[in-house]
A and B are shown apart, each in its own frame.
Chain A
Amino acid sequence: GENVEQHPSTLSVQEGDSAVIKCTYSDSASNYFPWYKQELGKRPQLIIDIRSNVGEKKDQRIAVTLNKTAKHFSLHITETQPEDSAVYFCAASSPQAGTALIFGKGTTLSVSS
């Protein structure tokens, strides 16, 4: 089955800096890669996603890149703000719509002002 590795496990940056979180996946058939932000005690919130027919997607300060050949994808946050502090999870799922997401172990991002 699918296995998703995520790095780093913790990331501390200064306000205004950029943050990059990287994930690799094992199943070459996976074609959907979302990123979730989870604040303590709350539900994961989808912040951006990408499908395998696209190499990059951007939404304001957040971008995701995908390298299908290398089977890795990354989350880029620019101009970080203290409210970006949270746990971020990457995930992957296989081709059939309605299949489960397999999550990485998460990255705790701390943005200090």
Chain B
Amino acid sequence: DAGVIQSPRHEVTEMGQEVTLRCKPISGHDYLFWYRQTMMRGLELLIYFNNNVPIDDSGMPEDRFSAKMPNASFSTLKIQPSEPRDSAVYFCASRLGGRGLNEQFFGPGTRLTVL
């Protein structure tokens, strides 16, 4: 398996522009998580999906952020409009559900810079 795939790996944009980050989870995993990593706040959970349905979006910072999962193999995180304080590394992770100690597998991340 190729692991969790994220694109783009790097994104530089100007304030006010729309940004879309993409994630392909590991095939068969039924949970998908979006995280944001910054120096100030560390790793924060933004939202997670179960079987393509958003379950908990309490970590989404504000209405400018939205996430979708139209099918089991694709998810997007959109920021519109973007602001400099959104600059961070955004990680996607997926996990096989169930009662076992199944860990989350992380993608390589997307480094977002908003100028």
Same assembly: no
Chain B residues with a Cβ under 8 A of chain A: none
Taking Cβ atoms with an 8 Å cutoff, the residues of A that contact B are none
